[in-house]
Amino acid sequence: MDLPLGFRKAWRVVLVLLAGAAAGTGPGAAAADTLRSPDRRVALQFSLSKGGEPVYRLKIDGEEVLSESRLGLVAGDADFSRGLKLVGRSDVERVNEVYELATAKRRLNTYEARRRTYRLATAAGQRMDVVFQVSNDGIAFRHVFPETGTEERVILEEATSFRLPAGARAWLQPMSAAKTGWSRTNPSYEEYYESDIPAGTPSKLGAGWVFPALFKTGGRWVVLSEADVGRGYCASRLRHEATDGEYRIGFPDARETIGSQPVGPRFATPYAMPWRVVAAGSLRTVVESTLGTDVAGPAAAGAFVPASGLAAWSWPKRGDAQTTFPVQKDFIDYAASMGWPYCLIDALWDTQIGEDKLRELVAYGRARKVGVLVWYNSNGDWNDAFQTPKNRLLTREAMRSEFAKLRDLGVQGVKVDFFGGDGRAFVDLYHDLMTEGAVAGLAMNFHGATLPRGWGRTYPNLLTAEAVRGYEFITFEQAGADRAPGHVAMLPFARNIFDPMDFTPFCVDGPRKIKRRTSPGFELATTVVLTSGIQHIVETPDGLAKQPEYVRDFLRRVPATWEETRFLAGEPGKLVVFGRLGADGIWRVAGINGEAVRKTVEVDLSALVAPGRRRAKPERTTNYALITDAAEGGWARREGQLEGETRVLRIELLPAGGFVAEVTKPAP
């Protein structure tokens, strides 16, 4: 129909106004924009509310996984959480990255996503972008200040939130209060998880919830975390209260800092804030996801990559007093006899061994193909931890001097302990240590520390970090041993889901006067179920000598770097069954029972395929060698062969029991 000229002009004005409202040329709401994953099942919806608040939703197959949640920041000079307008958006970009990682569930990783940047501005024209990346296993987003500024920008708080739908359940670790615990060393991410609680339950400790945080809503699982926390920002957490299931980003306690430095973010612009990570889908999807490292910063070209592997370690069962020359020499011999690449010499080596004798130990280890690692106290004055050496790594100049000395001695890595929290000053300290350690050719391990948040990709010399209530707590008191089965069975679904974790596994003789609640099979399985670039073995030479040769042989050959990981069965805190593929072509299938009841596990070995051939037709015959618990106590072992389209290995698990199986194709 041929409309009058005046009507056509008026209609064009209406269209322009509508487009302006949607595009943000005027204040107020912006219509929802949807960004989908490569397989189109995961949908991110971004919009502006009538008050100019940036919000988002997450759906999978049309089912809401996160309800309307907030975005934005409040800076010292402007509020970027409301009163915003959308001034533009980018085209959809394809993200396709391939990277190697020696410290987690998969060595060679491929990350595919679709990215879009939403460009926002305040009424005064100050700019902030929100970048979303949507992959088949979830979403990641970050706030970016794109413009160059002349003054340092201060962030007072984040409006970022994650609203779980009604009825969601949560598996969360409470953040401990700053300056509490032994020698005022908290927070160190060393609390027990609260399991299967209603989403929105406040933390009893009042200091928030740590990342990663696990939730279940309907039939979907959700993992919340953060990655790529750079210099100038603080490590964050979820606030301890979550009204109506809406969890907000919280910053650290003001006491979690060095000296009088402000705890919160301060930086020059342009600047990209940390990624907020939401892995979502089936339990298998989130367990096999690498989203927490996919969005971390890539390693620099030619970055130092130390060897991964197992390590001998005297401290858990021998204590500080045995950090002496003859004992450490014995433990180097122990590592050499097992073919392990490392021996860790822990606290007080500076006074009980000394640098001259340390040089001798390093040379002794080198002759036996065992690298020596040494312990340091991170302190300044942020807590009362007294063990030495301390006060040697407080500045980059001091680090360079100390690390150069270690390099001269031939030391291959350092374990740095007793950090003081998550404030910006400590994040900068971690970056300094990883940077200077890499320059000196030293492997790094952080204890009494924060979650590494994908740093292992950016700094490949960071082989592991604690940030867990590890095996040491089992040696301290019976209560720690009593809770160990369920606690360890929780870790692969949360703390260890993306980043390496120095839990320090495997003890079957003792420890000390503690009555261990886990079976021998459970203990052996932890060397596979838990991932770390270095696995510091708790068991001592005399304790391991009492075990069957097939157990020692398994520990000689078990890798710390995995080519592939499969989730085979499990439930947080109750059961874990994983398959992990080594570079030797052997699948190690391992399982642990976190409960005090017997269980039967049926593992279909036909689900395991050759490396790099995830869709290839599997072999029709499979050999297995199984190590598990004898019904009457001790070990049991059997070998066999399974054939056919479905090859199910049936395993009876004792209460708090476990197993490992090596799975191979038959010899030609």
Q: 589 and 661 in contact (C-beta within 8 Å)?
A: yes
Q: Quick one: how far is CA 109 from the chain centroid?
A: 15
| Distance, CA of 16 to CA of 76 (rounded, Å) | 35
Size of the chain, expressed as the number of residues it contains: 668
Q: What is the pLDDT of residues 149-193, one digit of tens each?
A: 989 999 999 999 999 999 999 999 999 999 999 999 999 999 999
Residue 605 and residue 581 in contact, taking contact as beta carbons nearer than 8 Å: no
pLDDT reading at 330 higher than 90: yes
How many helices (H) and strands (E) the chain has is answered by 16, 36
Least Cα distance to 159 among 146, 179, 177, 143 occurs for 143
| β-bridge mates for residue 64, sequence order | 59
Mean pLDDT of the chain: 94
Count Cβ neighbours within 10 Å for each residue of 473-489 and write b for 16 or more, e otherwise. Answer: bbbeeeebbeebbbbbb
Q: Under a CB-based contact definition with an 8 Å cutoff, are residues 58 and 92 in contact? A: no
Tens of pLDDT along 17-70? 344 444 444 456 788 999 999 999 999 999 999 999 999 999 999 999 999 999
Cis? peptide before 270, omega within 30° of 0: yes
What is residue 8's predicted lDDT score, i.e. its pLDDT?
Answer: 45
Does the CA dihedral 603-605-607-610 come out positive or negative?
Answer: positive
Residue 444 pLDDT exceeds 50: yes
pLDDT of residue 219: 93
Residue 15: per-residue pLDDT = 39
What does the pLDDT look like over 495-551, one tens digit per residue? 999 999 999 999 999 888 899 999 999 999 999 999 999 999 999 999 999 999 999
pLDDT for 65-123, tens place per residue?
999 999 999 999 999 999 999 999 999 999 999 999 999 999 999 999 999 999 999 99
Return the domain boundaries, the chain: 11-294, 313-562
137 burial (CB, 10 Å; 0-12 / 13-18 / 19+) is: buried
Which residue from 502, 420, 80, 437 is spatially nearest to 235, judged by alpha carbons?
Answer: 420
Higher-pLDDT residue of 605 and 34 is 34
- Top pLDDT among 412 and 9 is at 412
Radius of gyration in angstroms for the set of CA atoms belonging to the chain, rounded to a whole number: 26
Top CATH class, 313-562: alpha beta
Q: At what angle do helices 325-338 and 549-557 cross, to 10 degrees?
A: 90
Q: Quote the pLDDT of residue 7.
A: 43
Q: Does the structural domain 11-294 have CATH classification 3.90.550.10?
A: no
58: left (phi over 0), alpha (psi -120 to 50) or beta: beta
Query: Contact at 8 Å (CB) between 137 and 65?
Result: no
pLDDT in tens, 220-239: 999 999 999 999 999 999 99
Q: Is the pLDDT of residue 619 over 70?
A: no
Mean pLDDT of the region 328-350: 98
Which residue, chain included where needed, has tokens 């040696």? 475
User: What pLDDT shows up at residue 135?
Assistant: 98
